[in-house]
Amino acid sequence: MVGSVLVGMLCAHLLCFAVMFLLISKRLQGKKMGMDFFAMGNLLLGLAYVLQLVEGGPAWSMMSVVNHTLTLAAPITYGLGVMRFLGFPAPLWRPLAAFVLAYSTAQALIQWSLGPVARYAMLSGMSALLFLVMTLAALYGVRTFAKHLYREMAFFALLISGICILNAIKFIRLLQGGLEVLHMDSSFQMVFYIYMSSLATVVPPFMIWLVFRRLTDDLSQMAARDPMTQLLNRRGLSEALEQHFNLHNVAPAYLLLLDVDHFKRINDTYGHQAGDTVLRHVADVLRTTVRRGDLTGRIGGEEFVAVCLDSDDVGVVQLAERLRAAVEEQAIHVSGHDKPLHCTVTIGVSPRFANGHALEKALRAADVALYQGKAAGRNRIEKAHAFAHIAPLPGAGASATT
């Protein structure tokens, strides 16, 4: 009786959260983050437990075959959902259909050749194996593809390793004691159902938390980046610099302000779309030319920024020269035009500065140098005077610059 109540509650949890996952996945539209798969997984497992309740105990029937197949199809679907969440393009229907066919056939063969105990043991053994693979994948993910979800993946691995262990114990007990073990009110089954009910209560809010985290991460990424080039915007640069200087003992930085020469002429001659292609090209050059760890941004129409971290007066000018030469040398292919375009940039270099608050001052200093570079003929590098010679921005406090 108690066993049936536990299984009934488990069904209710699974099916309710299946509906919730489905509603969330509908809301997420294009980027469902595996929520539709989790809804399907919960539905399959919920239905499997409904069948178990209806059956009452071990039996050889179509219902039992379907029950076993659904019980294993659910973790496969969850696994595929986790892959989706992590950004791998996992398909659902084909692997699921292939599994349903293969496992239903295997059940018939095992039942006829080895008997019912072997069929139930196969279910527990396969479940233990599947959850073991999922636990190992989660642990592997902690060190590799899901490093940013370190705590979440470790917690997930802990939870599912519990089901793995319980199924492994059930497998052994089935082989030793036969189908008696599966009696709904046996103490082992009670522990099993209580653990499953706890999981069915804990895991869905946990998954929803993961989606929420991903969405808020995406939002802050969007707020910090320029949508056209995916470089940092002014806000993103400021935050990244703050973070950099919050680390102890970091060397001062330099700011390079790049402006595409005669960009209005490019727009006017080739059109706005060609202008956008040129901007994306300059962004790519910037991204690929700076050192790993340096910051790159777009702060206005055709104005770009590189913040050179951990360098010196000679190194920063070398970087500026590399950037200038790379932009000048590379041809830009624009759709609708046979001949590739060429463009140049003028670069203003700020004096070095040592805290995140100095960004505005550094921009101002680099801008003055840039203006001088434009006046001197463009396609060149101009290094700023010391900050002391630059008129302070309205409202800017004294910054610890060097």
Ligand X SMILES: Nc1nc2c(ncn2[C@@H]2O[C@H](COP(=O)(O)OP(=O)(O)OP(=O)(O)O)[C@@H](O)[C@H]2O)c(=O)[nH]1
| Site residues, ligand X (CB under 6 A) | 259-265, 267, 272, 275-276, 279, 301-302, 374, 378
Q: How far is the CB of 320 from ligand X (least distance, A)?
A: 17
Distances from the Cα of 200 to the Cα of 6, 15, 77, 150, 204, angstroms: 12, 10, 15, 22, 7
- Residue 124 Ramachandran class (φ > 0 left, ψ -120 to 50 alpha, else beta): alpha
Q: Cβ closer to ligand X: 259 or 294?
A: 259
Write down the least CB distance from residue 148 to ligand X, Å.
31
Q: Report in angstroms how near the CB of residue 235 gets to ligand X at its nearest.
A: 17
Q: In the bound complex, what is the minimum distance in angstroms from residue 278's beta carbon to ligand X?
A: 7
Are 292 and 325 in contact by the 8 Å Cβ rule? The answer is no
Whichever of 67 and 346 has its CB closer to ligand X, that residue is 346
Backbone angles phi, psi at 26, to 5 degrees: -65, -40
Q: Residue 276: exposed, middle, or buried by beta-carbon count in 10 A (0-12, 13-18, 19+)?
A: middle
Nearer of residues 40 and 279 to ligand X, judged by Cβ: 279
**Which pair of tokens denotes residue 30?**
């294009």
Q: Nearer Cβ to ligand X, position 279 or 283?
A: 279
Could you tell me whether strands 295-298 and 345-349 are parallel, antiparallel, or unpaired per DSSP bridges? Answer: unpaired
CB nearer to ligand X: pick between 130 and 257: 257
Angle among Cα 93, 95, 96 to the nearest 5 degrees reads 60
CB of 272 to ligand X, least distance (A): 4
Q: Whole-angstrom Cα distance, residue 200 to residue 46?
A: 10
14, 74 contact by CB (below 8 A): no
Based on CB atoms, which residue is closest to ligand X, 173 or 287? 287
**Min separation Cβ 303 and ligand X, Å:** 9
